Structure 1
Amino acid sequence: MNSIDFSPLYRSSIGFDRFASLLDHALRSDQNNNGYPPYNIEVLDENRYAITLAVAGFSRDELSIEVEQGVLTVKGSKANDSKEQRQYLHRGIANRSFERKFNLAEFVEVTNASSDDGLLTISLTKEIPEKMKPKQIAINGSNDKATIEHQANKVA
């Protein structure tokens, strides 16, 4: 598969080079992914999300969740039951280990994880720091020039 050329976007945008590499990585990894285990990504409200994975047959001890450098990794490891030999006529229930990765946007944090009825639900919250939130800037008129000069003299 060829990479997508994002260079035309760089002419009018600044700081989105990480976005381009994330998109390229997502396109590559999606082809390698076999779709196991199935999952949902849900928007709960403006700043809350949930990822739900179907992990039937996995105990809580066999699952692990890790976040590192903006990548959420969910792993399921099944222990080999070599002592228990079963003979199947049909085996449709997957009993294999898995690793599923999700790229998280800036300021998205994992807040909780729970496992009920064969579903692993991971809660995420987008918490933008106060200094990063937009703020209104007052526009002064020409009559305010004396006030600005007075404030500048106070600082000096």
Structure 2
Amino acid sequence: MRWIWLGTLGLAGMTAACANVSPVTPTPITTASPAPTPGYDWFLSQDSGIARLAYGVEASDDLKLGLDCSAGTGKVDLVALGKSGMSEIYLESGGETERFPAEGEPSQLHDGDLLTATVEADTPVLQRFRRLGWIAQWVDGERAVYVPQPGSATQVERFFGLCG
């Protein structure tokens, strides 16, 4: 009988220890498509073999996330807003996540830094973005989701088609 008591006590102790473990990073949201934000959308522009896919307000300086590429290179330059001193761009799309080392410089238009990183266009999180049409950026545990308005999701596919 004494062994049963000790075994039960040991099992209870292990259960309590497991219950106190908390995750270190935020848990990404999975594949459910979020709703678009009124006034914001993805905009595609092309000039001299360079494509830019930007999420923000049309004809304004309100940019949340930008992706640039030279046609056919397979490389994407990410441009994102971050808090001062940040050194990474943390993206998520449909449960796929990736942290990209980034360089930052003080933004002239917003509080915080303007972060830049160059990545491969076939990075899993970018390919999930290509399939789903939306992507999220995590900053200090807060998630901002960038969703196309109805009818403009094709801009995302066109961008990746140009990048190669």
TM-score tier, shorter chain, comes to under 0.3
Structure number with the higher strand fraction is 2
TM-score normalised by length of structure 1: 0.27
TM-score normalised by length of structure 2: 0.26
In our comparison, the structure showing a higher alpha carbon Rg is 1
